Structures are given as C-alpha cells and as structure tokens.
Amino acid sequence: MDGFLGILFLFCLLLLLLHPSSSLPLCTDLRAPLTPKVPLAFCPYNGRVCCNSTKDSQLQKQFQAMKISDSNCASVMKSILCATCDQFSAELFKVELGPRPVPILCNSTISANSSLSNRGVSDFCSTVWDTCQNVSILNSPFAPSLQGRAGVPQNSTSSKLEDLWQSKSDFCLAFGGVSDDGSLCFNGKAISLNDSENLLPPKGLCLEKIGNGSYLNMVAHPDGSNRAFFSNQPGKIWLATIPEQGSGEMLGLDESIPFVDLTDEVYFDTNFGMMGMAFHPNFAHNGRFFASFNCDKVKSPGCSGRCSCNSDVNCDPSKIGSSSAAQPCQYHIVVAEFTANGTASEPSSAKTAKPTEVRRIFTMGLPFTANHGGQILFGPADGYLYIMMGDGGSKGDPYNFAQNKKSLLGKIMRLDVDKILSEAELSNLGLWGNYSIPQDNPYSEDNEVQPEIWALGLRNPWRCSFDAERPSYFMCADVGQDQYEEVDIITKGGNYGWRVYEGPSLFAPQETPGGNTSADSINPIFPVVGYSHSDVNRKEGSAAISGGFFYRSMTDPCMFGSYLYGDLYASAIWAAAESPEKSGNFTTRTVPFSCARDSPIECGSVPNSPLPALGYIFSFGQDNRKDVFILTSTGVYRVVRPSRCNYTCSKENVTTVATPTPPPPPPPPLSCSNRLNEPHKVVVLFLFSLLLLLCFIL
C-alpha cells in the first residue's frame, strides 16, 4: 500500500509541475496586481503587488503567531508567507489546481526522484529544510495538509519539519518544483523574469486578398475544420470555407446563401447593426449560437428592455438621447440565442440555421447612439460568455457610466448561458435577461455592484481576443476620445480608468451631470500598448483602434508570438512583442505590409501595385490554423509567407507551400447541455477529479 501511495504521490507531483501555465502577473484571486497607495510595512515588496495594507497586516499577525525562535528560520518563513504579495503569486501558488498553503519552492534535488530537467534552478527548498528542520513552528503552513501522505508519520503533533517528514527528499518532493516549461517557482525573493531575446516583428507583413466582401466579424468553426463564419453589420451570417495557404483559391463564400439572415431583427445604421456573434464551444453537438445586435423599439415591438439610464445610476431617461430619438432609450443592445438544430443531421454539418430566436439572453436600452461595443465571445478556459459594452456614447461619458458599478455601460460582462434560471428566479435577481451569474465573478456577492461585471472603466472596447496559447492573456482594444487609443490585458475586477483617464493620462470631462470619480479613489490598470492620435496618419481627422490577435501560426514564423492590431482610419498595422517574455510588458512598432505577387484577388491600390488598398480596417479574425485575417471595407485579407512579398524571414522554410490541414477537432467540452448524452465522458471527468482530490488530501 505504501508503494502505491508513493507512486500516486509522484504522479500528482508530476501533474502539478507539468500543468501548462502562462506566467502573466496575476494574484491568487486572479486579479491583476496593483500599486498600493500606502507601501507595505511587513512584506518587502515594492511596485505592483498583490497585497494591500490590510493583507500585509494579516500576514504579519500570522507570522507572529508562529513564534519562531530561530532568526534564520524566521526570515525564511517570512519570505514564504509574503510570497502571497508577489505579482506572480497566482502561478507560484498554482491556483488553477486548488488552494495551497505555500508556493512551489524552487528545488534542484527533484531530479533524483523524477526525470524532470532542473538545470539552473536554485535549491530554495533545501534551504528551507536545512534552516528550519529542527525549529518549532506553531501553526506551520507545512503541517495541516501533510498527515496521511507517504513518508509522514501518522498522528504526529510536532511542528518541526524533521518530525513531520522522514527526509529532505520527501519534503522537497511534496513542496518543491522546477522552473521549466515556462512555470515559476519561489526562491525566497520577488520574482524577476530574466530578459530574453525580444520578439521583433519581421521586416514586413505579407498579405493576400481572398475575398471581396465587407464583413465585421469572423469566427472559426468550433468543430476545428477549415471553415469559419463571417457576418456583416446589416445582420447576415455566412459559413465559408478557408482555402489552403498558397493554393491560389478564393474564400469559399456565397453571399446569396447566408447561414442565417437576421436583418428583420437588426436595426442597421452608421453606429448600429449586428456587432458580434459567438458559437457555443459545443456547437458541433448542440447547435447553439448567439448574436449581438441593435434594435429600434419604435419599429420593433419586441425590442424592449430596461433603460441603462435609470434611477439606479442617478440618471433621468427623459433627459438623455439625441435629437433624432423619438423617446428615451429608443435603441437597445440585444444578445439573443439561435440554433442550427433541425437543419441538418448534425449541427456541425448544418449549412443554414433558423432566424427565430430561441432565447433572449440580454437586453438593455442605450442612452445615446454611439460607443456601445457589442462584441461577444466565449472564454476558452471557462466556457462563459463575455459581452463587451461601451460607455453608451456622448462625448466624455458625461454620466460617468464607465466608473459607476451599478451601471453595465463601460464594462465587460461575464455570463453563464448554460445555467438558465426560472422566471421566478430571474425576477427576484433583477437580471437584464435570461442567464445566470458565475459564482467566481468578482462582484457576485456584492449587492452594491452589478454581478455581471467582470471588468470596468472602458470607453468603447472594439475587438477583444484570448491568446490561443495562454488563455489568461485576454486582450481588448479600447477606442479613445480625443488623444489616445489603447490595448489592455483584461483581468478579473480590473478597472481600466475611463473616464478618469484616457490611456495613461488624466482626462478632464467637459460635462459632469453624473458626477465625478476622483483619481485617488481608483487603482487603474494602464494600457500595455497604444498610440496617440498625433502619431498616426488619419483619414477624416480621427482615429479608432481595432483589436486583433496574438499571431500563433507558423505561416510567418518571424511574426509568431506578436500581438497584431490596427486602426480603422489610418490603415496602419502594429505588432506588439512581450519583453521579457511572459511579463505582461510590451513594446510595439508599426509593421509595413505589402500585397503578395500571386494574391488570388488583385489587392494593390492600383493594378500591379505592392501596396494593398485596405480601406477601413474593421476587424481581425483567426481561423482554426491560427492564421490571422484582416476584415476591411475593401475585402478579406490573410497574412501569408513573407517570401511571397520578397520579405526576408530567416525562420521561414521556403519549401513549405501550404499550411498543413488542421488535425481532427478535439472532443467537445462537457456542458450542461450534453452531460446526460455522454456518460463515458462524465465517468472520465469524475475519475480525473477524484485523482486531483487525492493529490491534495494524501
């Protein structure tokens, strides 16, 4: 039995150490670290940290309760307790695997017990053992979870490490870890990432034009195939086939045969229309998809909902709206659910869908006619629906909606659309539609804040995306007012400053009928990249950022890992590289671009010109191969091999003509809608969960 427990424990350790991780600065509650207004008194951390003065004081009291007589051991234990304040504490404590009393301790002796490589890793775990092995530590963080594990004497009441563990090897096998595969471990000091080779954008970006249509959104088919959905602002969605790289073929899309036509429901105008679409992660089996659009309650009787300007946010609906509005909150933003079930033997093979709503997920009346965002997408790690909402319009957000936590304007919302509540529950909770609130939303238990809110302080988020390799990198471009366009890394409960700040600078609103928020009362998270309006060549005297994607295709290996984004009016494209890698710090530069000589569709500004005539950059897209697309007013462009534009990339294999066909799609994630239909997956999930549980109780 002891041998079995030993093998099981080693497996648990390997599972812990090999779990993929992102290293983005995050706290154990998955919030972004902030700079405290008062420096920490007990824990020696400066700059951006994960503790405020209250948490710092709690850690000091916990340390004093240990009553450690040896000064060297006391110093070591203090550093371990204070690791909670490190800006990388989410990874140090491996929060994705459950709560831990101590961080993963750097350990160079683990190679004696496993095959993991550990070159260059400090041996802080041995330092802890050697310093504290025979020192009494009351309320030791190492003690509560140790009883019953292999190598630990049963019924031990000692607070000394040498009495709890038979050897240093056993101790470090339990609490140590190596820094490999991008993971971090704690060596007694604040984490400082080593500068690595910067990800420099290539000399140029090569594009080919594969479609003539003008689209606002592109979403890869959830079944993992070479298909994608495209939608336009008036309200149509098409299912298209993406041609192979280098094939010379055009986008397989017939505009006369839409996947679904929602134009009868959508109110379309310059600032209105269908702004977003999202397909359930299990769409291939359940056929569920969602559309975000605007409606006009004067023209559509079904367009009705609460006005976002109401007494809850100290706003009088009778005093807002434009001169063209016939009544307050005439226009609404709607998120509705539709289905592809019944149009084919399986939803994944459906080529059309029903234009009839299955369920109205969310409805809210808009105070003005601009800045209402509207993108929707599912989180790849949690399966929840995110809704990007602007501040509602009018210059300078006069009602201060973006900072008002009782308003949903200027926010990113996070909803559970799998757990549908009854009418009585919905009525009692006062929600804005047919959904439920994820329990780990930052304000789910706070009656003074709307529970739907995931992040706040945004002006007009225009195109957000999750990094395909690191889901914690949730990037959102936020359109500025007069001075600055920005890209933010969105984190749980983060406040991104508007309208107290525009980008990194204080903003002075012209009107304040909704009151002000002082700069001292918030901890803003400033943009990771951005640009001033004066720095770009603009059409129509304006600027408006369009968010993009981390480039994760090997089609252009010199671009791999850079975040691509553009500007609506400037026809400019930027690439942002993280330095040091996984630090959350970015440097950016403009990337020149050209049209491939052999583009399937002529894309030069004039015939045979190498400069693409992009027009207005509406949005970016990404397919299942991770190739990046640019959706513009003149058509659909795709990033291709640099050599097709005579750009030099030393990493490019010029013999490679086309990107390989993507592998078969992975099994769909379990959700409320398919658990009962797939009992074998439930068993697997149960066994895996049980194994993880054993890892933490044995």
Convert the pLDDT of each residue in 16-71 to its tens digit.
Answer: 333 344 578 999 999 999 999 889 999 999 999 999 999 999 999 999 999 999 99
Distance of CA 191 to the CA centre of its chain: 23
Residue 371 lies in a domain: yes
Query: What is d(CA 392, CA 365) in angstroms, rounded to the nearest whole number?
Result: 10
Do both 278 and 156 map to the same domain? no
Average pLDDT, rounded, for the chain: 86
- Whether 200 contacts 577, CB under 8 Å: yes
- Whether 215 contacts 634, CB under 8 Å: no
pLDDT tens, residue by residue, 429-464: 889 999 999 999 999 999 899 999 999 999 999 999
DSSP 55: H
Residue 464 lies in a domain: no
Query: What is d(CA 477, CA 412) in angstroms, rounded to the nearest whole number?
Result: 12
What is the structure's pLDDT at 540? 64
Q: In 3-state terms, what secondary structure has residue 653?
A: coil
Last residue of a domain, one of 126, 149, 177: 177
- 280 pLDDT band, cuts 50/70/90, is very high
- Please tell me which residue, 286 or 139, carries the higher pLDDT value: 286
Residue 544 lies in a domain: no
Both structure tokens of 126: 């041995």
Both structure tokens of 232: 């336009």
What is the structure's pLDDT at 438? 97
Q: In 3-state terms, what secondary structure has residue 147?
A: coil
pLDDT tens, residue by residue, 233-257: 999 999 999 999 999 999 999 999 9
Q: In 3-state terms, what secondary structure has residue 693?
A: helix
What is the structure's pLDDT at 198? 56
Q: Which DSSP string do the residues of 197-243 spell out, in sequence order?
A: ------S-EEEEEEE----SEEEE-TTSSSEEEEE-TTSEEEEEEPP
Do both 285 and 146 map to the same domain? no
Do both 162 and 273 map to the same domain? no
pLDDT tens, residue by residue, 107-120: 886 544 433 333 44
Do both 395 and 509 map to the same domain? yes
Residue 653 lies in a domain: no
Let me know how long the chain is: 698
**Radius of gyration, CA atoms only, the chain:** 27
DSSP strand pairing (453-456 vs 411-415): antiparallel
Do both 318 and 430 map to the same domain? yes
Instruction: Centre a 10 Å sphere on the Cβ of residue 513 and count the other Cβ atoms it contains.
Output: 12
What is the structure's pLDDT at 628? 98
Q: Which of 522, 464, 457 is nearest to 489 (CA)?
A: 464
Residue 232 lies in a domain: no
- Please, is 4 exposed, middle or buried when counting C-beta atoms within 10 Å of its C-beta (0-12, 13-18, 19+)? exposed
- Please tell me which residue, 601 or 327, carries the higher pLDDT value: 601
- Please tell me which residue, 677 or 584, carries the higher pLDDT value: 584
Which amino acid is present at 236? Answer: K
Do both 170 and 294 map to the same domain? no
The dihedral through the CA atoms of 621, 624, 628, 630 has a sign that is: negative
Residue 383 lies in a domain: yes
Q: In 3-state terms, what secondary structure has residue 511?
A: coil
Last residue of a domain, one of 177, 208, 234: 177
Do both 320 and 452 map to the same domain? yes
- Whether 524 contacts 503, CB under 8 Å: no
Q: Residue 679 pLDDT > 50, yes or no?
A: no
Do both 124 and 266 map to the same domain? no
- 13 pLDDT band, cuts 50/70/90, is very low
Minimum mean pLDDT among 4-13, 413-422, 575-584, 604-613: which range?
4-13
- Per the structure, the complete domain to which residue 410 belongs is given by 259-459+493-517
Last residue of a domain, one of 121, 154, 177: 177
Do both 273 and 171 map to the same domain? no
Query: What is d(CA 158, CA 683) in angstroms, rounded to the nearest whole number?
Result: 40
Do both 172 and 276 map to the same domain? no
Residue 531 lies in a domain: no
- Whether 216 contacts 270, CB under 8 Å: no
Minimum mean pLDDT among 189-193, 194-198, 641-645: which range?
194-198
Do both 160 and 287 map to the same domain? no
C-alpha pair distances (Å), 395 with each of 320, 456, 533: 13, 18, 17
Q: In 3-state terms, what secondary structure has residue 475?
A: strand
C-alpha pair distances (Å), 51 with each of 84, 86, 87, 650: 7, 8, 9, 45
Number of domains the chain contains: 3
- Please tell me which residue, 99 or 205, carries the higher pLDDT value: 205
N-terminal to C-terminal alpha carbon distance within the chain: 13
What is the structure's pLDDT at 591? 93
Which of 44-48, 137-141, 425-429 has maximum average pLDDT? 44-48
Q: Residue 357 pLDDT > 90, yes or no?
A: yes
Residue 359 lies in a domain: yes
| CATH number of domain containing 391 | 2.120.10.30
Q: What percent of the chain has pLDDT over 70?
A: 82
What is the structure's pLDDT at 404? 97
Q: Which of 522, 515, 519 is nearest to 398 (CA)?
A: 515
Do both 275 and 172 map to the same domain? no
